Amino acid sequence: MSILEDQKPNSKTSLAEIGEFGLIEQIKEGFPIQLDSTLRGIGDDAAIVDYGNEKTVISTDLLIEGVHFSWSYMPIRHLGYKAVVTAISDICAMNAVPKQIMVSMGISNRFTLEAVDELYNGMKYACEKYNLDLIGGDTSSSVQGLVLNMTAIGSAKEDQLAYRSGAQENDLIVVSGDLGAAFLGLQVLEREAQVTKVNPNNQPDLDPYAYLIERQLKPEARVDIIQLLKDLGVQPTSMIDISDGLSAELIHLSKESGFGFTIYEEKIPLDPTVIRTAEEFQINPITCALSGGEEFELLFTINQGDFEKIKANPNLTVIGHVTNKGAENYLITTGSEQMVPLRSQGWGATPETE
């Protein structure tokens, strides 16, 4: 029976019963090869892929229980899905298309086969949605709960790749989607988890926060934006994905290119739910966008001549422009039009509320 097939709700199978090789074999059965570029997947000493005249792009991400996710609000199937999205978003950030993933897992003996089944079901759903092949990885025991290491592999033609360093003076700064929702989704989930600790019978009404919670637990990689830019005939001059907050990512692009970046508060795209919930938590919604992170939206720069190609597209918003060589990075506030220096709060930081 495949690990991805439905099993009896009350059945609990110890991983020791099937062993490491049995587990690998069952995972292999659930992930048949879909792409012509995958020559060899799970089951050999290494995977083999062939992209012909395209360049190979590889990235890796680590997810650790208690650091990157909490079981108090993260369903294990959602974790599998999010793990894939987290990995392939870095491929998209190079203006490349993700093709394959590899999964290495450290797992303790408190997990059952059925729990692993749910984890890989989430990954399988993501692979089907984004047309990916899972082609291998590694498994190990763990004394720290669950640890996932995700490797994503993709490709692009050399002249289509976008690096962090390519921005030029007077380029336009563009962002996909809207920002701040993932951070606020986390705030809602953590608040309800604390309430449930005090009152285990708590039945929270999460419907008003559905969009925010989905952005936190089931984010999407913007593979569609890569295809959209191709269809529009737009080549980004630089690109990055927003995993650590808009401010931090802008500073990365500025540092790598050597140019200053200026953005406008009024241009930053915010969903109405973000504005309403930020007020509830007494947080400036712009702060959520600047410092929240885990958006997996794409931030990129384009030549001004490409503005006409993107200006009417609802998926893309111009939020500012690239300034002079060696200049600082600023946010121009709404109304007062003050120039506020952009600051990166760094990895793992929580947005300030001022």
Q: What is the mean pLDDT of residues 96-118?
A: 94
Task: Specify the pLDDT at position 48.
Answer: 83
Q: Does residue 352 belong to any structural domain of this protein?
A: no
Last residue of a domain, one of 126, 160, 194: 160
Does 193 share its domain with 326? yes
Q: Bigger pLDDT: 318 or 199?
A: 318
8 A C-beta contact, residue 120 and residue 60: no
Please state, in angstroms and rounded to a whole number, the distance separating the CA atoms of residues 118 and 278. 33
For 79-107, b/e burial (b = at least 16 CB within 10 A) is bbbbbbbbbbbbbbbbbbbbbbbbbbbbb
**β-pairing, 172-176 with 316-325?**
antiparallel
**Where in the sequence is the domain holding 307, given as residue range(s)?**
172-341
Q: Does residue 348 belong to any structural domain of this protein?
A: no
Instruction: Output the domain CATH number for residue 53.
Output: 3.30.1330.10
Task: Specify the pLDDT at position 345.
Answer: 63
Q: Does residue 349 belong to any structural domain of this protein?
A: no
Does 153 share its domain with 176? no
Does 103 share its domain with 194? no
8 A C-beta contact, residue 91 and residue 149: no
Q: Does residue 265 belong to any structural domain of this protein?
A: yes
- Quick check: 177 pLDDT over 70? yes
- The mean-pLDDT minimum among 32-41, 240-249, 269-278 falls in 32-41
pLDDT digits (tens, 9 = 90+) for 197-227: 888 888 888 999 999 999 999 999 999 999 9
For 53-71, b/e burial (b = at least 16 CB within 10 A) is ebeebebebebebeebbee
- Quick check: 352 pLDDT over 70? no
pLDDT digits (tens, 9 = 90+) for 72-91: 899 999 999 999 999 999 99
Please state, in angstroms and rounded to a whole number, the distance separating the CA atoms of residues 23 and 151. 19
Instruction: Output the domain CATH number for residue 291.
Output: 3.90.650.10
Instruction: Render 215-257 in DSSP notation, one character per residue.
Output: HHHS----HHHHHHHHHHT---SEEEE-SS-HHHHHHHHHHHH
Last residue of a domain, one of 119, 139, 160: 160
- Quick check: 7 pLDDT over 50? no
Does 327 share its domain with 182? yes
The pTM is what?
Answer: 0.87
Last residue of a domain, one of 160, 193, 227: 160
Q: What is the mean pLDDT of residues 28-33?
A: 82
pLDDT digits (tens, 9 = 90+) for 246-298: 999 999 999 999 999 999 999 999 999 999 999 999 999 999 999 998 999 99
Q: Bigger pLDDT: 338 or 25?
A: 338
Q: Does residue 113 belong to any structural domain of this protein?
A: yes
Confidence band for 5, pLDDT divided at 50, 70 and 90: very low
Please state, in angstroms and rounded to a whole number, the distance separating the CA atoms of residues 91 and 156. 10
Q: Does residue 273 belong to any structural domain of this protein?
A: yes
Of the candidates 219, 215, 104, the residue with the CA atom closest to the CA atom of residue 152 = 104
Q: Does residue 290 belong to any structural domain of this protein?
A: yes
Does 215 share its domain with 104? no
